Amino acid sequence: MFELRDKVAVVTGAGSGIGWAIARLFAQQGAVVAALDRDETAATAIAAAIRDDGGAASCYRCDLGDDVQVAETFRRIEAAERRVDILVNNAGIAHIGSIETTSPDEFDRLFRVNVRGVYLCSRAAIPIMLRGGRGVVLNMASIASLVGLPDRFAYSMTKGAVLTMTRSIAVDYVKRGIRCNCICPARVHTPFVDGYLAANYPGREAEMFRTLSDAQPIGRMGTPEEIAHLALYLCSDEAGFVTGQAYTIDGGALAR
């Protein structure tokens, strides 16, 4: 079950965290992975790790907010692999602040990556999928797209857009062989969390990590691998009847 053999999977933000876990798991399940990241070193590293495990992967440096770069990257992927079966729009950036403390530049930066990036990659991948007769788009949203979270104004705005883009793509292409869903995680332990703690709580990282973990009803943060396993299901043929849905994976956060 959940094999991706002979499928080409494009994973954005594959160089760390959730993207790294998804790219590696998909390769283990037989997919040919195209790893995209703005950080060329990080993209190269995940592709090398996949190949070291016996999988197939290529890497591409790409600024997902740049329409020319995105179009050229997907042209290169199609030229190399002849198809795109799966697109995982995972890349994203976080931000902390209310509407009063969010500057116009910060707002635009969040929108450029988290919304425009999803739009451009989907716009580039879907025509390739249509030529192949089928495809799956999986977007990374957040529980912030479903409920209000304190001091997450701009981030919530972008993830709300991802959620509605997901449903729109699902409706537009349901008769044309393309499924589209999104995942809505709560707090996941990624390098971003470690960097945030180091920058904001120097010397108190372990204490604040415990505080953030305890804030989850289940008593811990999620892991990138747990998100990757849900992504695998949604991109597999076993989820062939699933489209237009938002899947929470939140340690009980929305059950309260």
Domains of the chain: 8-186+225-246 (3.40.50.720), 189-221 (no CATH)
Q: What confidence score (pLDDT) does residue 192 get?
A: 83
Specify which residues 248 forms β-bridges with.
Answer: 184
Residue 153: partners with Cβ closer than 8 Å, 6 or more residues away: 97, 98, 99, 102
Largest CA distance in the chain: 55
Q: What confidence score (pLDDT) does residue 200 get?
A: 83
Q: What confidence score (pLDDT) does residue 196 get?
A: 82
Please say if 233 is a catalytic residue.
no
| Region 143-157 average pLDDT | 95
- Digit-coded pLDDT (tens) for 40-87: 999 999 999 999 999 999 999 999 999 999 999 999 999 999 999 999
**SS3 call for 189:** coil
Phi, psi of 82 (to 5 degrees): 75, 0
In DSSP notation, 129-179 reads: HHHHT-EEEEEE--GGGTS--TTBHHHHHHHHHHHHHHHHHHHHHGGGTEE
Confidence of residue 244 (pLDDT cuts 50, 70, 90): very high
Full-model pTM: 0.95
- Digit-coded pLDDT (tens) for 84-117: 999 999 999 999 999 999 999 999 999 999 999 9
Among the listed residues 60, 119, 155, 247, the single catalytic one is: 155
